[in-house]
Structure 1
Amino acid sequence: ARSTVSPFIVQEIADALEGTDKIVLVKNPVNPDLALWLGGIERLYSANIKNLGVIHRGFSTYEKTRYRNNPEWQIAIELQNRFPDLPLICDPSHITGKRDMIFEVSQTALDLNFNGLMIETHVDPENAWSDAAQQVTPDTLIQMMEDLKIRKETDTEVEYRNSLNTLRTQIDVIDHQLIDILGKRMKIADAIGALKKDKNVAVLQSKRWNEILGKMILEGEENKLSEEFILRVFKAIHQESINHQEKIMNG
């Protein structure tokens, strides 16, 4: 993961392994940068290394989350779209950092059509020399493998359900991100409310609001979103922002 961050290190590795038929697995970079990940893969391809795979082990963040490394599933999904034939392996141990979350993340990965899992196991996890909290016993791993649902395509009906489950899982991931982003937006609205209260400024700023609407409608059109939809969404967001600011102003 740390090597993938540096194009220079990746190039050195590519030069050293040029033409090899050995399996080479490329972890995602530590920071959530799809371009770096893609660049690493392309450098290895250019060195005539064809037996490639990628490992998704999550991304570091300065924010406190329930993960050790944020999965940022949309980045792995985009990579999968760019390289559909490249084996994609999930490392739920490093993503979660907690053994009790490994099954959940593993199932999500399988539902997103990952090709495999890389799970840390230890006969005595509590006494492991490193990453003890994210390791499971061999027995737990066996049970996990039995409980995980692998959706195989055997006929038209199953193929449809698999595709639908994959799409719905992607939507679930994005929906969680939307909620997180909206929460962050409202925290900023709270800060604006406090500033306005301190300076005795009215909550509603019509000129600013109209500017936002105009820009969002244009951006919505570029993303094939109707003006009606954009207006409904941003009016709701704006009203919630006003509610937050009013609470601060009158609190």
Structure 2
Amino acid sequence: MDILNLNEWGLDAKAPLYIAGPCSVETPNQLNTTVKDLASRGFKWIRGGVWKPRTRPNSFEGVGEIALPWIQEVKEKYQVQFAIEVANPYHVQKALEYGIDLLWIGARTTVNPFAVQEIADSLKGVDIPVMIKNPVNPDLALWIGALERINQAGIKKLAGIHRGFSNFNDQVYRNSPTWQIPLELKTRYPNLPLLNDPSHICGKRDLLASVAQMAMDLNFDGLIIESHFDPVNAWSDAAQQVTPEVLEKLIQDLQIRSTSTENPIFQSQLELIREQIDQVDREFLETLSRRMKLVEKAGEYKKLNNVAIFQMERWKKVFETRPEWGTALHLNPDFIKELYQLVHTESIKKQEEIMENTGLQKEK
């Protein structure tokens, strides 16, 4: 992808980009009061929902295009730039007509390649920054596909927004961060600006600071975060919004860490630690290889005795004991469970290959 970094956008890539504003534009007074407060605290980029795609009908879905003249007014009054979500070509047309400075494509739109392509077609010949939120479900290919479609329309000022992923098992976050997915995206496209959306990850105000700090620790390029002058009475997502005053304090408290250092002692020690990690990884893979050879041996033994691959009691024992062993070794038991799910899947695959070589009937 042919993508411009934030410096090439005309922004300072060394300083995080902060985009703040209400979940939804509600009234002229709500917008004016919130933007005035944010602008007075140094926020130059404002966000606000005009059209709000909701999961269920009869929810507040935004006031629509009547908000666009209000946005024009606060842009001129407070000398700020404004970002809104678009979900179809009509939204793009109206946003361009009213001088919106930045567009973003939401998670529910990213999952639909047809919708993304329609938006891409409507952006041909237009020079405007576009940010794309990750899809609702943890699918990196869909996220990349949406970025590629918009990029192929000629948009070079392109960025990703990490807003977390739907996970009904998560008891802490509204949307699980699943940090490895945005980090993989950044690994593949280092030039791509990547922002974090702690509001939609958290769903609750009290978690915002920790998630925002994690994003900064992982070298994200900025935050897009919801702020409302009266968040308790917000028309949508009231629980995750904060006042401009609280947001200013949250930003001030963030520790922005250096991505590198010229300190030779630090570099020497870090290199030594990395060499030790490499050695442990080699040993780990050698151990994993030995385990798989034992799995194959067990598969051969099952084949000779006409025994099914999957043994429920054995798997229950493994799945119960390994997290316990991990906890005793100060490892996260949830991580160990995920690890052994992968190991189990690969083990079944290995034994399937052995069974298929003989035509023995498999039972699962």
Of 204, 223, 240 in structure 2, the residue corresponding to residue 117 of structure 1 is: 223
Of 285, 304, 325 in structure 2, the residue corresponding to residue 225 of structure 1 is: 285
State the 1:75 CA deviation. 0.5
Of 239, 249, 259 in structure 2, the residue corresponding to residue 143 of structure 1 is: 249
Q: Any unmatched runs of 5+ in structure 1?
A: 169-219, 245-251
Aligned to 2:116: 10
**Bigger Rg, structure 1 or 2:** 2
Give TM-score, length-normalised by structure 1. 0.65
- Quickly say closer, same or farther: Cα 1:33–1:228, change in 2 above 3 A: closer
Aligned to 1:211: none
For the residue of structure 2 that corresponds to 1:93, the secondary structure is: helix
Give, in whole Å, the separation in 2 of the partners of 1:66 and 1:227: 34
2:320 alignment partner AA: S
1:225 alignment partner AA: L
Give, in whole Å, the separation in 1 of the partners of 2:168 and 2:218: 26
State the 1:228 CA deviation. 6.5
- Quickly say closer, same or farther: Cα 1:239–1:6, change in 2 above 3 A: closer
State the 1:62 CA deviation. 2.4
Cα RMSD for the two superposed structures: 3.1
For the residue of structure 2 that corresponds to 1:11, the secondary structure is: helix
For the residue of structure 1 that corresponds to 2:145, the secondary structure is: helix
State the 1:229 CA deviation. 8.3
Which structure ranks higher in relative contact order (CA pairs < 8 Å, sequence separation ≥ 6)?
2
Give, in whole Å, the separation in 2 of the partners of 1:243 and 1:226: 19
Aligned to 1:40: 146
| Map 1:53-202 → 2, pairs under 5 A | 53-153=159-259, 155-157=261-263
Give, in whole Å, the separation in 2 of the partners of 1:228 and 1:243: 15
Q: Any unmatched runs of 5+ in structure 2?
A: 1-106, 275-280, 296-315, 324-364
Give, in whole Å, the separation in 1 of the partners of 2:140 and 2:322: 37
- Quickly say closer, same or farther: Cα 1:72–1:230, change in 2 above 3 A: farther
Identical aligned residues as a percent: 53
Aligned to 2:158: 52
Give the length in aligned residue pairs.
182
Could you tell me whether the CA contact under 8 Å between 2:199 and 2:208 is conserved in 1?
yes
Per-residue CA deviations over 1:89-128 (Å, capped at 9, x if unaligned) read 0000000000000000000001111000011111111111
Moved over 6 A (4+): none
- Quickly say closer, same or farther: Cα 1:26–1:226, change in 2 above 3 A: same
